[in-house]
């Protein structure tokens, strides 16, 4: 038994005497990066009519009981596209929608001002860049606010007296 204890002691000493090496190095890394910068384009919007225009589009194959919010948004986008095509426009300014059930499916009415993009040019003047910056800053703020609102939805405080 004593022999066994001495043998274990010798093996453990041998294992502890093994040399362990560790090395870590770090260097600064600068990789070549390709970036593309495109000069912004600015364009004027020519409204084609001084009065609002109206177009109604049928969607007869829609099953109202099986629709999702995404389906409604898709129908609105399709109706908006068809309205722009009808008036030979690039965009419908201040578009509003009326969606209602009919005997077969739904119909979507689009009301707005048809308009075309005209006078395309590369932004060169300081005034062009000034308003572009304002628009992008505003989008950033709106995105932040929308995300904050979404984060708070469904997290209303609950009154312990009502539980």
Instruction: Identify whether 80 is part of a domain.
Output: yes
Burial of 110 (0-12, 13-18, 19+ CB in 10 A): buried
- Domain housing 75: 41-146
User: Is 23 inside any structural domain?
Assistant: no
Task: Check which CATH number belongs to the domain holding 97 and give it.
Answer: 3.30.110
Give the CA count within 13 Å in the CB-facing half-sphere of 32: 0
What does the alpha-carbon distance between residue 93 and residue 99 come to, in Å, rounded to a whole number?
18
Does residue 63 sit within a domain?
A: yes
Average pLDDT, the chain: 78
Distances in whole angstroms, Cα of residue 108 to Cα of each of 77, 95, 98, 100: 10, 12, 6, 7
Tally of domains in the chain: 1
Rounded Cα distance between 36 and 26, Å, is 30
Domain presence at residue 104: yes
31 domain residue, yes or no: no
The answer to whether position 9 is within a domain reads: no
Query: Smallest Cα–Cα separation from 55: which of 74, 73, 37, 81?
Result: 81
Tens-digit pLDDT profile for residues 39-80:
888 889 999 999 999 999 999 988 888 888 888 999 999 999
Q: What is the pLDDT of residues 17-38, one digit of tens each?
A: 566 776 666 666 666 777 777 7
Q: CA dist 129 to 36, 119, 149, Å?
A: 18, 17, 30
The pTM assigned to this predicted structure is 0.60
| 157 occurs within a structural domain | no
Cross-strand partners of 99? 108
pLDDT digits (tens, 9 = 90+) for 69-106: 888 999 999 999 999 999 999 999 999 999 999 999 89
Residue 19 lies in a domain: no
């Amino acid at each position: 038994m004593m022999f066994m204890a001495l043998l274990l002691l010798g093996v453990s000493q041998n294992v502890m005497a093994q040399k362990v090496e560790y090395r870590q190095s770090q260097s600064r890394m600068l990789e070549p990066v390709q970036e593309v910068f495109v000069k912004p384009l600015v364009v004027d919007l020519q409204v084609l009519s001084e009065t609002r225009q109206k177009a109604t589009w049928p969607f007869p194959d829609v099953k109202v009981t099986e629709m999702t919010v995404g389906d409604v948004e898709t129908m609105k986008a399709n109706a908006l596209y068809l309205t722009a095509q009808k008036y030979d426009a690039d965009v419908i300014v201040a578009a509003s929608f009326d969606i209602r059930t009919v005997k077969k499916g739904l119909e979507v009415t689009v009301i707005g001002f048809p308009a075309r993009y005209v006078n395309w040019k590369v932004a060169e003047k300081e005034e062009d860049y000034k308003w572009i910056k304002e628009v992008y800053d505003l989008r950033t703020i709106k995105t932040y606010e929308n995300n904050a609102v979404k984060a708070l939805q469904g997290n209303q405080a609950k009154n312990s007296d009502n539980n």
